[in-house]
Structure 1
């Protein structure tokens, strides 16, 4: 059976590995470290690469291809990986089955400023926003209603780059100050008007598209908890339920507009005052952090992406389990009444069928993360005391 090379070492890579294992597909994981949760999964073989972005990733994937010994399907899990692979697709296509949107589309959708402009031009529902470039921040921000959310236009600066998460600010002076701070790492910053709502007003769709077959799979989900609240990554999520039809229609419109190809996703926010959905941002060429929720609900996105990359029509899959929730770790529990009675909560790291990733995470990674945060607080408090 043709294998998969899954690139990355984060939680969504682990979800991809476990999803593919359900169909018996052999998986090699390309990671720049052996000490990661997915590296301990019994469902994959880990192969070291010198880096997960830029030229280091491209050269590393060439070495992986030699070790695998046959042409494999390539699945990505990070924005920097998508950028590197998209720019080097002519080198990698002889070695891997690769399904990505055209390079120009990848550039368009991975740049928040370009996507904002494009969405407004073609009539996609997006929040009002301003594009901030050094020198015009004040005037541009003054045209928006506060509060706003600020984030760098370049998505590769998020998460694994110098900027951790989008920042919400309440006033114009705060926005001006925060924009200046972001400009130290990003030449272009996007400010979006805040859409009124809580964590559970954030929805998403996950999809796979073939060049000839159109949409091969489409799943819609709803966030229950984000970390940090309102602007952070998914900590707990479920299937969207009755909102699926509306989300699916908006997603199909997006796919038709951009002529999308490959694996992707959209994040939406529902305005509590109007009930209107707006597109917050797309996910391009890779799996989402929480994409395993689709597999748990009966729509195996990685397996469908696998067959689509090979040029085959995937068998239609329907959501067959709405009473399941996915959480990134045991640190997150739903508030009373947030989940329907009987809902089974599945941990992102620990599974009895594949226990070592969870043991490594809870015994080592989570402990070290807490220790690092504690050390940072000590350093900050020490500096604050010294400056008194």
Structure 2
């Protein structure tokens, strides 16, 4: 370990499977890794990739900010500590309280904080896409269920709805007609405002994401992934994905983020319509995406690059391995074995498999995840 590395560290907020992937990638790169988590029973909390787990009472801003500052005081032996977000609420929290946090931590996207906060808002995406000459589904932000017919006049059904605020009580819902949409909005009235969009036809395999690491608006490294399965189907969180060659997705991703002068990891989800056109679904900014392990396993070490950018260090870029698929054992525990059965091969899709929990050098999270799954299945059976 270099003298520089000895005086720096990373603090990962959240040890879901995504936070676990980030922690492991950093630790394998020789970085001192610490984590903050409110649930010590998560599989990721059992990892040997962190030096210490700091328990926090809550991830709500009013508890999290003082807790992070207190953790930084406990890490006073390090000259610089890089802060890592693992979900959109963390990113928003860090951005809103950047003035406080920047006195204690380094954040890769601190210089572009306002752009990151703007890109988080689904209500802003249509304007951004149109300004950058990209296809975006016909949309409306619904702040009330009154005059619904007028607000969606001329919309083609089915319509998909998404909460504007991150980590609301639902991710997406699909409505076949106005009556069904009205019932859904009544059910999720506490999550208003809600974004309504015309649904772009196509299944899981029509969903792509362009992942970039950026340095003040310039692309450092890029990769394209394609969803093979998601939950809910074709409109939910990725459960199986693969690395693919799709230069158009990279070009469109760079086009979407042009002009924002961003640094750190970003990604853009796009959907390929039946006519071959690509449509913007949503960006991820201020953090790596949930499927970060796919990038890491392919040789695109975004967490390391984020760490290096935050400290103004040269960024490490390595060649991509296109022969990788990824399975989310957190949301879909049996997804790999289902694919094995379907393809009659331990290398489904003809690619080496990467997983959320399993790693030979760090087996405790896998066995804890298995234990938790057995408990859930037992309760369901009873």
The verdict on a shared fold, with TM-score over 0.5 as the criterion, is yes
In 1: Cα distance, 2:363 partner to 2:24 partner: 12
Query: CA contact under 8 A between 2:211 and 2:267: conserved in structure 1?
Result: yes
Gaps of 5+ in 2: none
- Say if 1:117 and 1:181 are closer, same or farther in 2 by CA, change over 3 A: farther
User: Partner residue of 1:115?
Assistant: 125
- Kindly indicate whether the alpha-carbon contact (under 8 Å) linking 2:36 and 2:55 is maintained by their aligned counterparts in 1: yes
Aligned residues: 363
Q: State the distance in 2 between where 1:106 and 1:315 align.
A: 23
Residue in 1 aligned with 2:90? Answer: 81
Q: Residues 88 and 373 of structure 1: is their aligned pair in 2 closer, same or farther, counting only changes over 3 Å? A: farther
Q: What is the Cα deviation at residue 374 of structure 1?
A: 6.6
For normalisation by structure 1, the TM-score amounts to 0.88
**C-alpha distance in 1, partners of 2:23/2:295?**
14
SS at match of 1:130: strand
CA distance in 1 between counterparts of 2:117 and 2:316 reads 31
Aligned to 2:69: 62
Could you say which residue in structure 1 is the equivalent of 2:271?
269
Q: Which of 105, 109, 115 pairs up with 1:100?
A: 109
Separation in 2 of the partners of 1:360 and 1:23? 25
Tell me the secondary structure at the aligned position of residue 203 of structure 1: strand
**For the residues of structure 1 that align with 2:95 and 2:375, how far apart are their CA atoms?**
34
- 1:13-59, CA deviations, whole angstroms, 9 ceiling, x for partnerless residues? 01101111221111101111221122111111211122223121111
- The alignment's TM-score, normalised by the length of structure 2, stands at 0.89
Q: How does 1:1-388 map to 2 (within 5 A)?
A: 1=5, 2-44=8-50, 45-69=52-76, 70=78, 71-100=80-109, 102-134=112-144, 135-157=146-168, 163-182=169-188, 184-211=189-216, 214-241=218-245, 243=246, 245-271=247-273, 273-319=274-320, 321-329=321-329, 330-332=333-335, 333-334=338-339, 335-336=342-343, 342-364=350-372, 366-370=373-377
Counterpart Cα distance in 2 of 1:226 and 1:117 = 27
Equivalent pair of 1:138/1:176 in contact (CA under 8 Å): no
Q: What's the C-alpha RMSD, in Å, of the aligned pairs?
A: 2.1
Cα deviation for residue 370 of structure 1 reads 4.0
User: Measured at CA, do residues 372 and 279 of structure 1 come closer, stay the same or move farther in structure 2, by a change above 3 Å?
Assistant: farther
Does the 8 A contact of 1:112 with 1:281 survive in 2?
A: yes
Deviation at 1:373, TM superposition (A): 6.0
Name the CA shift for 1:116/1:4 in 2 (closer, same or farther; >3 Å): same
Q: Deviations over 1:113-172 (max 9, x none)?
A: 122233234433221212222123222223210111111111242xxxxx2320011112
Give the distance between the partners of 1:360 and 1:340, measured in 2 at CA: 25
Distance 1:207 1:341, change over 3 A: closer
Q: Secondary structure at the match of 1:318?
A: coil
Alignment CA distance shift 1:169-1:286 (3 Å): same
Question: Partners in 1 of 2:257 and 2:34 — Cα distance?
Answer: 30
Gaps of 5+ in 1: 158-162, 376-388
User: Could you tell me which residue of structure 2 aligns to residue 378 of structure 1?
Assistant: none
Distance verdict in 2 for CA 1:372–1:9, change over 3 Å: farther
Cα distance in 1 for partners of 2:368, 2:157 equals 43
Q: Using a 3 Å threshold, how does the CA distance of structure 1 residues 373 and 206 change in structure 2: closer, same or farther?
A: farther
Aligned equivalents of 2:131 and 2:42: distance in 1? 42
1:55–1:84 Cα contact (<8 Å) kept: no
User: Is the 2:58–2:64 Cα contact (8 Å) retained in structure 1?
Assistant: yes
Q: Deviations over 1:241-288 (max 9, x none)?
A: 2x1x101101111221333222221111111x2111111001121121
CA distance in 1, matches of 2:301, 2:33: 15
Partners of 2:57 and 2:378 lie apart in 1 by: 27
SS in 2 for 1:115: helix
Is residue 141–residue 175 contact of structure 1 (8 Å, CA) maintained in 2?
Answer: no
Q: Distance in 2 between matches of 1:149 and 1:95?
A: 41
